[in-house]
Chains A and B, each alone.
Chain A
């Protein structure tokens, strides 16, 4: 699962720390999400999409294996 978190974060001029604070997660979680090492839960995915004001499918790109 790829995502556009880094791109959206940069577009909105938000630091990883600020995004983590807004979503009540650690900065390490944001780093892992952006690098694709960790896939967000549905709840966090929803919160991320809501935070950026976009749809979930605009944040996460599902790729069938």
Chain B
């Protein structure tokens, strides 16, 4: 029952994405939108609309088929899948931090100070966010 609600909320998310996408496409094509990067806004709108439609079709299909719903629910609640998801996120974070640090050093070596600074700030923000999340989670568990 709980998972059904989750599926319904995904459909609502799909509708929001689709509406947002259509709004972006319209805003890129109305007269007076010269100040906008219309090509980018239009592409973004198309992407949002496509994602929205995919979400709606996918989750309606799952909701209408009890067997498929059960299969998805088991996969979503499976503890090994949850562990893999958590480990993959942790690994992706570690790889990202190392790559960003290397990129920052390389940029600094080649006098690309602005790029190095942007990457550096991004790195600090991510590490700070990690620390905040760690503190919050350590109080919860």
Tally of B interface residues using CB under 8 Å: 8
Residue in A24, A28, A38, A41 whose CB lies within 8 Å of B77? A24
Q: How far is the CA of A24 from the CA of B80 in the complex (A)?
A: 12
Which secondary structure characterizes the binding site on chain B?
helix
Q: Is A14 an interface residue (CB 8 A)?
A: no
Tally of A interface residues using CB under 8 Å: 12
Contacting pair B80 A28 (CB below 8 A): yes
Q: Quick one: CB contact mask for A16-43 with B, threshold 8 Å, 1 for yes?
A: 0000100011101100100000101101
Q: How far is the CA of A29 from the CA of B77 in the complex (A)?
A: 12
Q: Quick one: CB contact mask for B64-91 with A, threshold 8 Å, 1 for yes?
A: 0000000000110111110100000000
Q: Is A44 an interface residue (CB 8 A)?
A: yes
Chain B interface (Cβ < 8 Å from any Cβ of A) = 74-75, 77-81, 83
